Structure 1
Amino acid sequence: MVNRHRGETALMVSGETLPMRLTLGALAELEHAFAVDSLPALGERFVEGRLSARDIIRIIAAGLRGAGRAIRDEDVAELSFDGGLNGVIKAAIALLEATFGEDDASRPPQPPA
């Protein structure tokens, strides 16, 4: 079960819910992987919205490790994600929003899509 108050989100893999969270250590890992020197620079990198498949793998793997799962990037690349490519992209975006986004309580209500 994920705890949204801790910044956790869920990744669905073969019908199983896997919690993800970007801890400070996971963020440091991503700073190194994306060759940026600060958290604002990392956030800006993600806001650009130009993420490669390798970027998604790194984000998901860091999130899984941040939530306590011992997994390598190579193992993440081999997972069967529920919802396919679209499902894993949505999971990565949700993880980034949980980490870098505003608190839901401070956001104005959004109209239905």
Structure 2
Amino acid sequence: MANLWAGEVALVIDGQRRMLKLTLGALAELEQELGAGSLVDLVQRFEGGGYSSGDVLALIVAGLRGGGEEVTRADLLHAEIEGGPMAAARMAAELLARAFMVPGEA
């Protein structure tokens, strides 16, 4: 089960439930991967609905890596995500929000 207070979210990929978490290192990799001016810019893209499928994929990869998995973007290009692209986008947005949530804000 995902520990929401630790910033974890669960996502079923290729039939396997996986825990995603954005650690500081994963956030730094994400920022570099997306060429975002800042993580605030990325948060604003998600809040405003202006994110791309590449943003979603990068967030999932960063979350998996932050959760301890050795995974690359290429590893997920043909992965089956339970619930499809919309579920992946919702989970990516939740993952990003949880990375900056203070306990008691839920």
TM-score normalised by length of structure 2: 0.84
Q: Number of matched residues?
A: 106
Q: Does the C-alpha gap of structure 1 residues 93 and 39 become closer, same or farther in structure 2, counting only changes over 3 Å?
A: closer
Contact kept? 1:8, 1:20, Cα under 8 Å: yes
Contact kept? 2:10, 2:20, Cα under 8 Å: yes
- Give ranges in structure 1 of 5+ residues lacking alignment: 108-113
Aligned to 1:44: 44
RMSD value over aligned CA atoms? 1.9
Aligned to 1:106: 105
Aligned to 1:25: 25
Q: Does the C-alpha gap of structure 1 residues 46 and 102 become closer, same or farther in structure 2, counting only changes over 3 Å?
A: farther
Larger RCO (CA within 8 A; separation ≥ 6)? 2
Alignment of structure 1 residues 51-62 onto 2, 5 Å: 51-62=51-62
Deviations 1:3-58 (CA, angstroms, capped at 9, x unpaired): 21210001112332100001001111111122234443443343332111111111
Contact kept? 1:15, 1:82, Cα under 8 Å: yes
Looking at structure 1, the residues matched to 30 and 93 of structure 2 have their Cα atoms a distance apart, in angstroms, of 15
> What SS is found at the alignment partner of 1:58?
helix
Contact kept? 1:21, 1:64, Cα under 8 Å: yes
Alignment of structure 1 residues 89-104 onto 2, 5 Å: 89-101=89-101, 103=103
Aligned to 1:88: 88
> What SS is found at the alignment partner of 1:79?
coil
Contact kept? 1:43, 1:100, Cα under 8 Å: no
Higher Cα Rg, which structure: 1
Question: In percent, how many aligned pairs have the same letter?
Answer: 37
**Matched letter for residue 69 of structure 1:** E
Contact kept? 2:34, 2:58, Cα under 8 Å: no
TM-score normalised by length of structure 1: 0.79
Aligned to 1:15: 15
- Give ranges in structure 2 of 5+ residues lacking alignment: none
Question: Post-superposition, which runs of at least 4 consecutive aligned residues in structure 1 deviate over 4 A?
Answer: none
